[in-house]
Structures are given as C-alpha cells and as structure tokens.
C-alpha cells in the first residue's frame, strides 16, 4: 500500500486554532468549527460519515497527523 502525502499547510492556514473536518477521499475541507464536535456534526450533515479531524496549528513548524 502506497502512502499518499498531502501538504495542507496553505489550506489549513486560513483556519488557525480551529478544528477542521476533511473528506477522507479528497482531503478537502468539508467543515470547520471552534470545537471538534461542531466540525464533525457539520461534516456529517454534508454526507461525510467518517471525516478526518485535525486542528490547524498556529505555527507550522513540525506537525505530524
């Protein structure tokens, strides 16, 4: 199985200190919220049952998902 690498630094820089739900297939932002539950609930409303959830850091030094 080949691992895909996604550089989300530009995408996530718009959402500093917020929780982001990503589509697990396309890795595109589908929902954003101040709390994880908010982002997950919004993603589910859009039909994404199992979103990838992450928090956008203030600093993009070293950050591993």
Cβ contact 17:60 at 8 Å? no
- Global pTM value: 0.79
How does pLDDT run across 6-43, given as a tens digit for each residue? 888 788 888 888 999 999 999 999 999 999 999 999 99
User: Quick one: pLDDT at residue 47?
Assistant: 97
Q: Which two tokens stand for residue 3?
A: 């691992």
Buried b / exposed e across 6-45, counting CB within 10 Å, b at 16+?
eebeeebeebeeebbbbbeeeeebbbbbeeeeebbebbee
Confidence of residue 64 (pLDDT cuts 50, 70, 90): low
| Residue 28 confidence (pLDDT) | 93
Residue 51 has a CB neighbour count (10 Å cut-off) of: 20
């Amino acid at each position: 199985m080949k691992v895909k690498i996604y550089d989300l630094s530009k995408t996530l820089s718009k959402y500093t200190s917020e929780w982001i739900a990503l589509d697990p297939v396309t890795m595109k932002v589908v929902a954003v919220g101040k709390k994880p539950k908010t982002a997950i609930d919004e993603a589910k409303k859009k039909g994404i049952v199992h979103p990838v959830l992450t928090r956008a850091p203030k600093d993009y030094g070293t950050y591993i998902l």
